[in-house]
Structure 1
């Protein structure tokens, strides 16, 4: 299992809506994530800055990369775009973090 972490950004006025949409995650989105080898996916909010810290475990980088090409992922990006800092294709701006410590 590979551990991944990244930072994304949610608009400060959208914190509650961002939370609500994730509380009501579409079943087909959850199924597709699992199909692409995603486990233990968590997102944490830093309220003072609007930064989101995402942590997930994946089975392979290739399967994770394929997730971006799915229909449900594209719909999710479009759904979340008004709430977040995004790229031109509606994907969230995401900065990968390097792991510097892990205690098993």
Structure 2
């Protein structure tokens, strides 16, 4: 199992909309996350900076990386692009965080 953490950034005033969209996560997106080995997925918001911090546990990092090529993932990126910083392909600007401590 691989623990992955990353950060992304919302546009100002978009926190409520971001949470609303994730509370109504499409079933096919949920299924894709599980199909590509993702579990125990959480996203946290720093309301002072609009920075999102994500955490996900993966069966296999290479398998997870392939999820970006799925139609549903691309559709989700397009759906979210108007409320957060994105790359030219609408994928979220996502910066991996370095693990420095873990305790079970």
Normalising by the smaller structure, the TM-score range is over 0.9
Partner in structure 1 of residue 40 of structure 2: 40
Structure 1 outlier segments of 4+, above 6 Å: none
CA distance in 2, matches of 1:25, 1:63: 21
| Structure 2: distance between partners of 1:87 and 1:10 | 13
Gaps of 5+ in 2: none
Residue in 1 that maps onto 2:71 = 71
Any unmatched runs of 5+ in structure 1? none
| Alignment partner of 1:18 is 2:27 | no
Distance between the aligned counterparts of 2:6 and 2:16, measured in 1? Answer: 21
Task: Give me the whole-angstrom Cα distance separating, in 2, the residues matched to 1:67 and 1:98.
Answer: 22
Aligned residues between the structures: 104
**Alignment RMSD, CA only?**
0.5
1:40 is displaced (CA, Å) by 0.4
Map 1:1-104 → 2, pairs under 5 A: 1-104=1-104
Cα deviation 1:42-79 (Å, max 9, x = unaligned): 00000110000000000011111000000000000000
Q: TM-score, normalising length from structure 1?
A: 0.98
